[in-house]
Amino acid sequence: MPALADLDADGDLDLLVGEASGTLNLYRNEGTPQQPAFRLVSDAYLDLDVGRRSAPALADLDGDGDLDLFVGAESGGGVFLRNDGTPQAPHFVPDASFAPPLPFFATPVFADLDADGDLDLIVGTASGGLMYFRNER
């Protein structure tokens, strides 16, 4: 599962890919927004392993101006990693404060579905369904 985001705050999108093995691959965009050129930086980004079929999603979940990481997994559930670094130099640390009950093959996406100014969680499921978690904060 791919996720695009500007992980180094250089103005172009980098690529984070969830692998069937449960790990993450990081590709830095060394090109431009108009002509991306992705280079593999790590095939075991953050040394994170969620078991099988990792599905990353990046969003500023704590409202501090940098991207946080949430990774869904085949076995259900997910891992939330809060960015304690900066937009230019992320430092992801595990944070158990965000652990919604997720189904098998959880594929997360964050968007403000209810137009209230905060990000809600939408999760694709193995059966093709969707789960919606409204952000009440």
- Residues 28-80: tens digit of each pLDDT: 999 999 999 999 999 999 999 999 999 999 999 999 999 999 999 999 889 99
**Count: domains in the chain:** 1
Judge whether 55 and 72 are in contact, CB under 8 Å. Answer: yes
pTM of the model: 0.92
Q: How far apart are CA 22 and CA 110, in angstroms?
A: 20
Domain boundaries, position 59: 2-133
Q: What mean pLDDT comes out for the span 133-137? A: 88
Lowest mean pLDDT among 23-27, 50-54, 101-105: 101-105
Estimate to the nearest angstrom the gap between the alpha carbon of 63 and the chain centroid. Answer: 15
Q: What is the pLDDT of residue 136?
A: 87
**Is the pLDDT at 137 greater than 90, yes or no?**
no
Amino acid occupying residue 11: G
Q: What is each CA distance from 11 to 75, 77, 87, in whole angstroms?
A: 35, 32, 11
**Is the pLDDT at 12 greater than 90, yes or no?**
yes
Q: What is the pLDDT of residue 99?
A: 86
- Summary mean pLDDT of the chain: 94
**Is the pLDDT at 20 greater than 80, yes or no?**
yes
- As a whole number of Å, the CA-based R_g of the chain is 14
**Is the pLDDT at 98 greater than 90, yes or no?**
no
